[in-house]
Amino acid sequence: MSRAPFASRSLALATAVAAGLLAAPPASGAFGQTTSDAPARRADAVVDLATAEGLRLVKGEWRYADARVVEAENRAPGADLKPSGAVVRALDVAPRAGAADFDDSGWEVVAPGALDRRRGSGKLSFAWYRLSLTVPERVGRLETAGSTAVFEVVVDDYAEVWVNGQLPVALGQAGGPLIKGFNAPNRVVIGRGLTPGQKVEVAVFAANGPLSAPPGNFIWVRSATLDFYKSGDPEAKGVAAEVVRLDPAIDAVVPPGARIEKLAGGFAFTEGPVWSPAGFLLFSDPNENTIYRWSPDGQVSVYRTKSGYSGPDIGEYGQPGSNGLTFDPDGRLTICEHGNRRVVRIEKTGAVTVLADRFEGRRLNSPNDLVYRSDGALFFTDPPFGLPRFGEDPRKELPFSGVYALVSGTLRLLTAELAGPNGIALSPDERRLYVGNWDPRRKVVMRYDLAADGTVSNGVVFADLTAAPGDDAIDGVKVDRAGNVYVSGPGGLWVYSPAGKALGRVVGPEHPHNMAWGEDGRALFLAAQTGIYRLSLAAAGARP
């Protein structure tokens, strides 16, 4: 939803700003999980990989070789924006030493304590460092079994880190295995749930920089460590969820003792969360015109700036940015852009495809929330809440607020009966469509029968919260695999049975405006005003 008070502030994040969609899937297995960020807390034990003692502990050995730029063959961009055009001459790096089984036996062995030796020729130069190591049984007093290990390296000037031959990349990533910044630390999770004796191969590609103004200095390693973190959390997380139990069946959904954890805070207004197939959460701050990324290790970074609008009159808007987010069946991020008044899809090439911006020649109001059917049909709501003056805004071209279906490229108006259509969700069998109404005079969730061609019929009031105490109307709507319906409504998060019986209400530290299933499917992420929260449930939800 979008009619909460409009806070105005900038969230200070030491992150790189990038835009786009996941470019590669996460790594699997105990090692090489480099798409996740490192834990955001102090390590429980540290191995200094620049010392003889540290290398002995992990049975490690550093090796070094210069890298060079070589000519290569590639293809020019084709009509699909991929390298599918004519053959062209390009540049590459040799050797390609990131592979886990790369033969570095002929490379120079770097003596303990000699990582700070200046290497390369200066100016525009590149190099490789490789390290083989074994997880020890113990580091100090810490037994490593079950722990998480993070490789941290600071290279003068830039570095990229390969772990067991993997360099997975996600656009919007801030550091990790990729160049993070000038002399900045790269922190890469190399293993979770470790077993002593496991082996890992690390390759560090180093570059002199800035690349556009090559300096006269040389490449060297300022520091290199292996940080260990205990498994689990010795302290209970979060606070006990306040649950108003209206029916005993609520215990099968929200178990007694369920807790709400605050994962991140300090935002202007959080909305539109969605769990990425790559294993992180994306969410909008429409007030700040930004999409953020939260990783399970507690890191928050900017994923996409100017997420909904970049027009010259942006100062007039309370919520110019993106709102609802979801992924299509092919894993492409789809965004409701308030200020641009459209629904767009980010292709895997980074190109933006406009899916819907007009109905019968007139501009949409401000698309709010959306959901895909498994066959690719898209359903979305279009209230006026993203416009500066809402329904009274002179920019408004449509005389109604609609619920739409985009099926096989054709945009169809499903209903215009709601003043503020907002949250939207599908039943598990995709035969019913739920739509919440943000209207203080009619706080209802509608349920429609949904046909294969995307049309709806037999609209009935599924839930009516008009008389419930609280200022909020109906915002986000989600459904679990059993068909229970979760509604952001007055007084908190309401849970209904598939038959429309109110089972209970969850009250958290802040009012949740929208939700998303994530992680193992039993974690419900709450976008709640200034923060992001996680509620662990007994029920499992459908993703996205």
DSSP 267-328: -S--EEEEE-TTS-EEEEETTTTEEEEE-TTS-EEEEEES-S---TTGGG-S--SEEEEEE-
Number of residues that this document lists for the chain: 544
Q: How far apart are CA 439 and CA 473, in angstroms?
A: 6
Instruction: Give me the helices (H) in 166-305, please.
Output: none
Q: Which two tokens stand for residue 74?
A: 């590639």
Q: Where are the beta strands (DSSP E) in 183-299?
A: 186-191, 199-207, 220-229, 239-240, 242-245, 259-264, 271-275, 281-285, 290-294
What is the four-CA torsion angle of 309, 315, 317, 322, rounded to 10 degrees?
A: 30
Given a contact cutoff of 8 angstroms between Cβ atoms, the answer to whether 526 and 506 are in contact is: no
Give, for 381, the enclosing helix (H) or strand (E).
Answer: strand 378-382
Q: Which two tokens stand for residue 478?
A: 């989600």
| pLDDT tens by residue, 452-488 | 999 999 999 999 999 999 889 999 999 999 999 999 9
| pLDDT confidence tier of residue 21, bands split at 50, 70 and 90 | very low
Nearby residues of 109 by Cβ (< 8 Å), 6 or more positions away? 61, 62, 63
**Could you tell me which CATH number the domain at 239-536 has?**
2.120.10.30
| Per-domain residue ranges of the chain | 45-229, 239-536
pTM of the model: 0.84
Q: How far apart are CA 155 and CA 116, in angstroms?
A: 9
User: What's the first-to-final CA gap in the chain, in angstroms?
Assistant: 18
Question: In whole angstroms, what separates CA 361 from the centre of its chain?
Answer: 34
pLDDT at 281: 96
Q: Where are the beta strands (DSSP E) in 76-181?
A: 87-94, 108-110, 126-134, 138-139, 142-143, 148-156, 158-163
Q: How far apart are CA 337 and CA 178, in angstroms?
A: 29
Please give the class, per CATH, of domain 45-229. mainly beta
Given a contact cutoff of 8 angstroms between Cβ atoms, the answer to whether 508 and 494 are in contact is: no
Given a contact cutoff of 8 angstroms between Cβ atoms, the answer to whether 501 and 247 are in contact is: yes
Q: What are phi and psi of 58, to 5 degrees?
A: -105, 10
In the predicted structure, residue 9 carries a pLDDT above the cut 80: no
| pLDDT tens by residue, 224-236 | 999 999 976 544 4
| pLDDT tens by residue, 385-441 | 999 999 999 999 999 999 999 999 999 999 999 999 999 999 999 999 999 999 999
Given a contact cutoff of 8 angstroms between Cβ atoms, the answer to whether 158 and 179 are in contact is: yes
Q: How far apart are CA 315 and CA 322, in angstroms?
A: 16
Given a contact cutoff of 8 angstroms between Cβ atoms, the answer to whether 315 and 339 are in contact is: no
| pLDDT tens by residue, 34-75 | 445 677 678 999 999 999 999 999 999 999 999 999 999 999
